[in-house]
Amino acid sequence: MTPLCRISALIVLLAITVCIPAHAATPGDDEGRLITRNADGAWFLQQPEGAPGKGCVARFMSAKKDQSQLALVGPTAKSPTAAILLHGPRIAAPPAAREVSVQVQQDGLPPATMRGALMPPAGGQGGGFIMIPVGDLAQTMGSMRVKETGMTARVDGVDAFGLSYDGLDQARSAMLDCLAGKRFTGGKSLAEATSEIRLMGTGSIAGNAFFKGALLAKKQYPPKGSQRVGLIHMSDEFKQWFETVKQSEKMPDRIPERIAKHFMFATILDDQGGFRFTKLPPGEYLLIADFSYKETATRSEVVGRTDVYVGNRHIGSNDQVAYWFEDVKKNTTFSKTVHLKDGEAMQVSLDKSMLGCFFICR
């Protein structure tokens, strides 16, 4: 197994075994303060200043690779309606709000069907949003279970969302206090919570990822809303640990937390493979893209023979060949090493292109 394949396998292992709060790669300043964190993810509370009891949001950010979110949204100064908001990479993002039927399936319970709305994209996040209005948010939170495993949502009969969460009892208590106008004084900000897991800085790396398989082929991009670009902080600590992994020639059962902090994932932001990592310290980084692309394959089959005669003499036969063309999916993994300066806003092209082989490769 090559070093790049080992690193790709480590990224998959990381997504399965290590808890990192969602948006650890791109923490925002308005995500609120940490209520609680567990193996499934983390709960944060948003509580605007100057409007007691209004604009409260308890948001769960999954630690899984798809970084799905569930938000309990209270009434605001402009709208008396509360809602449950689901966000994930498989949810469609229409240009305008559209009413839909949402079927929620919870472990051990019969499916529950309710009316909701698909919402247009917001804040540059990949994926889409499902909004489910609720009449009494306190009553709705009281009916929800503290822990859910494998909760799913189908929109118009299509699987669109999946999430496992824990810690709703603590999130519910903080949210009820917020709705009552009490200030939530405990907890760290998302940036502070993230800094416990990885080093923070002021630099950023942004760009586009694509694959181009031939000179005249079109560029192919990882799907919008997917988590197909990873970033590894190649510190001395990580390099020493990775050398040990290479020498052992086998994958570890679990990645230590001190090593897990070096891995980050980005949500693909648009249809041109756009990605962005923020709040990075200076140093060496390895960008990795891992996604599927389409390639047209040709298949031939002999369907008959044609006899050839000269006069009345048979001189041979020619095969009658039929050709079929079909699209097949293939996987590609490629990487680029970059060196980030302190506070630098780096723009990169993370691409794998066969153009360079047109003249010099054999």
The answer as to whether 248 is a domain residue is yes
Domain co-membership, 28 together with 173: yes
Residue 102 is assigned to a structural domain of this protein: yes
Residues 251 and 293 in one domain: yes
In a domain, 36, yes or no: yes
Structure tokens, 165:
């969460």
pLDDT in tens, 32-89: 788 888 878 889 898 888 888 899 999 998 877 566 889 999 998 888 889 999 998 8
Residue 8 lies in a domain: no
Q: Are residues 165 and 209 in the same domain?
A: no
Which pLDDT band, with edges at 50, 70 and 90, does 123 fall under?
low
CATH code of 118's domain? 2.60.40.1880
Is position 17 within any domain? no
Number of domains in the chain: 2
- For residue 6, is it within any domain? no
Q: Which of 194, 225, 249 is the last residue of a domain?
A: 194
Q: What's the CATH number where 255 sits?
A: 2.60.40.1120
**Residue range 198-227: average pLDDT?**
84
**HSE on the CB side for 69, CA within 13 Å?**
24
Report DSSP state, residue 218: P
Query: What's the mean per-residue pLDDT of the chain?
Result: 79
Of 194, 228, 248, which one is at a domain's C-terminal end?
Answer: 194
Last residue of a domain, one of 127, 160, 194: 194
Residues 166 and 211 in one domain: no
Can you give the length of the chain in residues?
362
Q: Are residues 320 and 293 in the same domain?
A: yes
Tokens of 152: 């799913």
Q: Residue 121 belongs to what domain range?
A: 24-194
The answer, as to whether pTM is greater than 0.85, is no
Residues 178 and 320 in one domain: no
Q: Is residue 18 part of a domain?
A: no
Tokens of 223: 């799907």
Query: What digits encode the pLDDT tens for the residues 227-284?
Result: 788 888 998 988 888 888 878 767 676 677 677 778 888 888 888 999 999 888 899 9
